[in-house]
Amino acid sequence: MSDVLRVDPIACEAHGLCAELVPELIEPDEWGYPIVAETPVPPRLARHAKRAVAACPALALMLVRQSRRLPAGEPEGAGLSETRGASASWPEEGR
Ligand code: SF4
């Protein structure tokens, strides 16, 4: 299983906060809209990615869990679940 970051382009308001919180995975375009890495979030950045999702004021940033590879012909979105905004959680720091 792996998580990938996704942005709802309709909801995004180009605050740029997410790119500041996890610049390794999100780069702002010339208007401030995020360009998100399509690669899975590496474990070393998982906490930062979850923090960026929780901090997004427009609830436009989400983590999508890819639970399995899709066989050919399976509809897009099958095997995915998402976490947005304040429902994103991260492990207690310092443990
Ligand atoms: S923090 Fe949210 S609203 Fe702001 S640029 Fe990132 S995804 Fe868009």
DSSP per-residue codes, 57-92? TTS-EEEEEE-SPPPTTPPTTTTEEEEEGGG---PP
Whether 44 shows a pLDDT value over 80: the answer reads: yes
Residue 13, in any domain of the structure:
yes
CATH no. for residue 47? Answer: 3.30.70.20
68 band by pLDDT with thresholds 50, 70 and 90:
low
Residue 93, in any domain of the structure:
no
Ligand 1 atom 4: the closest Cα is on which residue?
A: 15
pTM: 0.76
**Nearest atom within ligand 1 for CA of residue 58:** 3
Q: What is the pLDDT of residue 20?
A: 96
Query: Range of 37's domain?
Result: 2-69+79-86
Cβ atoms of 22 and 49 within 8 Å: the answer is yes
**Nearest atom within ligand 1 for CA of residue 28:** 5
Which residues sit with their C-beta closer than 6 Å to ligand 1? 7, 12-18, 34, 56, 58, 60-61
